[in-house]
Amino acid sequence: MKVSYKNPLLEKTLITLNVLAAALVAASFVMLLGFHEPVLPKQILYVAQFVLLFVFIAEKLIRLFNASSKTEYLQNNLLEIPLLLALFTMVLGAGHWFGKNDPSTVRHTAVGIYLVLQVIVKISRSTINLAATGKNPTKTLIASFLVLIISGAGLLMLPRASTGGNMGVVDSLFTATSATCVTGLIVKDTGEDFSLMGQIIILSLIQLGGLGIVVFGAVFALLLGQALSVQESVALQDLLSARTISRIGHMIAFIFVGTLVIETIGTVSLFEMWDDVPGKVSNVHQQWFCSIFHSISAFCNAGFSLFKTSFLDYNRRWNIYVVICPLIILGGLGFGVLYDIANIITDRVKRIFKKLFIKHYRFSMEAPKKMRLQTKIVLSASAILIVLGTLGILLFERHAGGDNPVKNPNILDALFQSVTARTAGFNTMDIASLSPSSKFVLILLMFIGGSPGSAAGGIKTVTFVVILMTVIASLRKRAEVEIFKRSLRIAVVGRAITVTLLFVLVLFTATMALSITENGSGFSMSDIMFEAGSALGTVGLTTGITPALTTAGKLIIIAAMLIGRLGPLTLLAALTFNLKPARYNYAKEALIVG
């Protein structure tokens, strides 16, 4: 819901004031928490935060009186009153009703939480408003990722974010890009080189990058009772590939609840796993943090691990295959597919209950909900690729010959690598020790990637199937491309071919550039191509060369990760957004190909 104001000039002034106040809030927390000793005395920073608190409260009161409809304004800010009541209760009650030993800490914590929530709300609304402007939405998407990466890199450079002092600019930028683009390639050990603060920053970037900044903004805005305008709903409809605007609220709610439920189940299921390897996790708090970190990393297909060897030391634990694998697969399917499956299951359950308890429903002509073509393709392609990848790794490793250290691999290890190669980047096998044939299989899986609408990279499973069915249609001399007894539009086929060719072009360009920058490093061409494919597919698997890359090589990988997360077609669309389609066609002429 878009609130109109009586005085537009006053509203513009308040927006500018908000931006400045939000920046000052962020700066105060950086100076307070980002250094081993606060840059300014704590009391000065606390006073500054109290002043900013009054600025935010005053801004809301002014907006209330400036609103054309006070009812609309209050409806659009439903949770502001309970939040303010909770804040005043904490501030005024500290030392009287609770926190008698340290009332000042309670007050500062309450004010800090409120300020952080206010900044998050303002950023959330800003991302949605930018997406709804209609002015080249792809540029807005790219800009949001760049802002998040740069902000994350700045936070990772703070002294308290790392264990060995200040992190370098390139290494911080590399880590922030890898986390935001949910890739998993690392130049610094996540578990050893970053402090708890640094690990939380990385985890936040993973969650934000995995969900999508605009979607996260919409989720947070709706949680705080702020309704979306029609223009904002249309922008989110395009982003989420929803069928109708009326389903946007349901879709966003499903994303939030689904993410929360899946990641919580993953966290609880992983908790006891860390007891198995002594010395890895020392106490129950670390156990919970490890569980939360790896559950989010797996579901967002990030591949970040707190252990130097990923899951090599846990490759015999059931949790890896029963918990991590399903988390990766669910995250790689995409919320559109999960939403469709959930709707179908809900419809089937409702029909069963209606048939049991409502007699006249048995004679109803209501047809059951059918699975979308997109869902059928995604599920079929994902299952086939997992099976073929598993068989390929088993076959090539068992017949590799020589001094192959991974000879006769466990079928579960091969299954795990087949699952993780398309999306996540965890490993239970030493990737550097795999045979060249197995590495090539992994490159193909990384190139194909996950499914549209997910956090995974690659050309996507649907694109791969469309290309494959186009070839089959040509061989069968069919005039149209057919999948599951449905014909595809020529525009869809053209888009699939464009995406594939652009990915091939970027992959070979990145490989060629790395072969030049790493010329004196002694890396084999297969290792370099593997690294480029992993970065472009936002997978995170590596043969071990990532930390040894030159500065130029790291910058090439950063660019590849960003292109892989956004998609080459997105970048091309940003450059050609203002081009108008031609309104004429040339005469057709036959051409011999092949």
Degrees (nearest 5) of the Cα angle 245, 246, 249?
A: 95
Is the pLDDT at 113 greater than 70? The verdict is yes
Cα dihedral 450, 455, 458, 462 sign: positive
Give the gyration radius of the chain's Cα atoms. 26
224 vs 186, higher pLDDT: 186
Contact (CB, 8 A) for 293 and 262: no
Per the domain annotation, does 73 fall within a domain?
A: yes
pLDDT at 468: 93
DSSP string, 72-92: HHHHHTTTHHHHHHHHHHHHH
Least confident stretch, 96-100, 317-321, 477-481: 96-100
**Least confident span in 126-135, 249-258, 308-317:** 126-135
pLDDT band at 339 (very low <50, low <70, confident <90, very high): confident
Q: Which two tokens stand for residue 520?
A: 């004196």
- Position 132 scores a pLDDT of 60
Query: Measured between alpha carbons, how far apart are the two ends of the chain, in Å?
Result: 56
Over 80: is that where the pLDDT of 158 sits? yes
pLDDT at 14 exceeding the cut of 90: no
Identify whether 529 is part of a domain.
no
CA distance linking residue 131 with residue 221, whole number of Å: 14
At 279 the pLDDT is: 59
The pLDDT value recorded for residue 324 is 92
Whose CA is closest to 421, among 538, 514, 295?
538
pLDDT tens profile 235-266: 555 555 555 555 666 777 788 888 889 999 99
pLDDT at position 440: 92
Taking a C-beta distance cutoff of 8 angstroms, is the pair 202, 194 a contact? Answer: yes
Contact 511, 529 (CB under 8 A): yes
**Would you state the pLDDT for residue 481?**
87
Q: For residue 327, which of 293, 279, 278 has the smallest C-alpha distance?
A: 293
472-497 tens-digit pLDDT: 988 888 888 888 888 888 888 888 88
For residue 337 the two structure tokens come to 């597919």
CB atoms within 10 A of CB 563: 23
- Within-domain flag for 361: no
Average pLDDT rounded to a whole number, residues 416-427: 88
- Show the tokens assigned to 95: 């030392």
Q: Does residue 246 form part of some domain? A: no
| More confident position, 391 or 66 | 391
User: Does residue 31 form part of some domain?
Assistant: yes
Number of residues that this document lists for the chain: 594
Share of the chain above pLDDT 70, in %: 84
Q: Round to whole Å and give the CA distance between 117 and 6.
A: 27
CA distance 334 to 380: 14
* pLDDT on residue 230: 55
Give pLDDT, residue 232.
57
pLDDT over 90 at 202, yes or no = yes
Mean pLDDT of 183-207: 90
* 477 in a structural domain: no
Q: How far apart are CA 413 and CA 405, in angstroms?
A: 14
pLDDT value of residue 72? 76
228 band by pLDDT with thresholds 50, 70 and 90:
low
Look up the domain containing 87 and give its range.
Answer: 1-131
36 lies in some domain: yes
pLDDT, averaged across the chain: 83
The string of pLDDT tens digits covering residues 342-401 is 888 888 888 877 777 776 666 665 677 788 888 999 999 999 999 999 999 988 887 765
536 burial (CB, 10 Å; 0-12 / 13-18 / 19+) is buried
Q: How many domains does the chain have?
A: 1
pLDDT over 90 (residue 89): no
Per residue in 540-553, pLDDT (tens digit) is: 898 889 989 999 99
Residue 60 lies in a domain: yes
Q: What is the pTM assigned to this prediction?
A: 0.88
- Helix, strand, or coil here: 162? strand
Contact yes or no for 259/338 (Cβ under 8 A): no
Whole-angstrom Cα distance, residue 590 to residue 473? 19
**What three-state secondary structure class fits 482?**
strand
Do 431 and 545 meet the contact criterion of CB atoms below 8 Å apart? no
